[in-house]
Amino acid sequence: MTDLSADPQTERRMNRIDLITGGVFAVLGLAIVYLSWTMPRLEMRGIHPATVPGLVPGLLGLALAFCGVVLGLKAYREGRGAGGWSDLLALFRTEEAGRFCAVAGLALVYALVLVGRLPFWLASAAFVFAFIVVFETWLSPEPRSLLRSTFLALVQGVIVGVVVTLVFQYGFLVRLP
């Protein structure tokens, strides 16, 4: 269910976001229409012209562009007033933004860098360890002692890494990356 709370700052922010995303969807939709229009129509194979591969993506692109324009226009009409853009920029300086960057950063480094370069169990253990330590000490409102957190995180990391690897490698016969 969507969040129905409507404090004015959040609404103003949402309004500016809708204005931007409306534009993005409109451009994306038109780009898809262009790609669909220029898609091969397979005349050489003698297919019926009403069944060209670009037909449905083109129609969907048009629909997306139309919805994007309506979304942007609606946001523009409702969203006049001062402070909107600065509210939006402030969003990137909140504590929540910092916490998001930490999770996303750790998750991406693990899946895109560590997995495949290190043995799977070690990569997973390192990820679990780093995640727990970061969120229990650095980003916690009530930080735990670093030593205790580090020790327990290390134990959990190694257990998770080894168990997941063993279960998938030998239980499900998956050749892990």
Partner 1 sequence: MPEGLSLLGHGIAHFLTWEALFNLAWASLLGIVIGALPGLTATMGVALLVTLTYKMPPDQAILCLMALYVGAIYGGSRSAILLAIPGTPASAATTLDGYPLARAGKAGMAMGIATTSSALGTLVGIFFLALIAPWLAEFALRFGSYEFFWLALFGVLISGRLTAIEDPLKGYIAGILGLLAAMIGMEGLHAFQRFTFGVSALGGGIDLIPAMVGAFGFAEILAVMKRRFTAELVTSDDRVLPRLADITRYWRTTIRSGIVGTIAGIIPGVGEDIGAWASYAAARRASKERDQFGKGSIEGLVAAETGNSAVIPGAMIPTLTLALPGSAAAAVLIAAMFIHGIRPGPLLMTENPAFLYQIVGILLLTTIAITVFGLSLTKLLVRVLLVPREKLMPVVYVLCVVGSFAITQRMFDVYVMIAFGLIGFVLREMRYPMAPLVLGIVLGELLDVNLRRGLLLSDGDVTPFFTRPISAVLFAIIAMTILMSLPMVSRRVTDLFKRLDSQRPAG
- The footprint of partner 1 (CB under 8 A) covers 1-4, 14, 17-18, 21, 25, 32, 35, 39-40, 42, 45, 47-51, 53-57, 60-61, 63-64, 67-68, 70-71, 74, 95-96, 99-100, 102-104, 107-108, 110-112, 115-116, 120, 124, 127-128, 131-132, 135-136, 140-141, 156, 160-161, 164, 168, 172-177
Minimal CA–CA distance to 28: which of 56, 2, 66?
66
- State the nearest-atom distance from the C-beta of 86 to partner 1, in Å: 19
**CB contact set of 57 (below 8 Å; sequence gap of 6+):** 32, 35, 36, 39
* Cβ nearer to partner 1, comparing 70 with 86: 70
- State the nearest-atom distance from the C-beta of 147 to partner 1, in Å: 17
* Cβ nearer to partner 1, comparing 83 with 98: 98
Q: Determine phi and psi for 149, rounding to 5 degrees.
A: -60, -45
* Cβ nearer to partner 1, comparing 47 with 89: 47
Separation between Cα atoms, residue 113 and residue 127, nearest integer Å: 11
Separation between Cα atoms, residue 39 and residue 29, nearest integer Å: 15
* Cβ nearer to partner 1, comparing 86 with 99: 99
CB 123 within 8 A of CB 114: yes
- State the nearest-atom distance from the C-beta of 82 to partner 1, in Å: 22
Separation between Cα atoms, residue 170 and residue 47, nearest integer Å: 49
Q: How many residues does the chain have?
A: 177
- State the nearest-atom distance from the C-beta of 131 to partner 1, in Å: 4
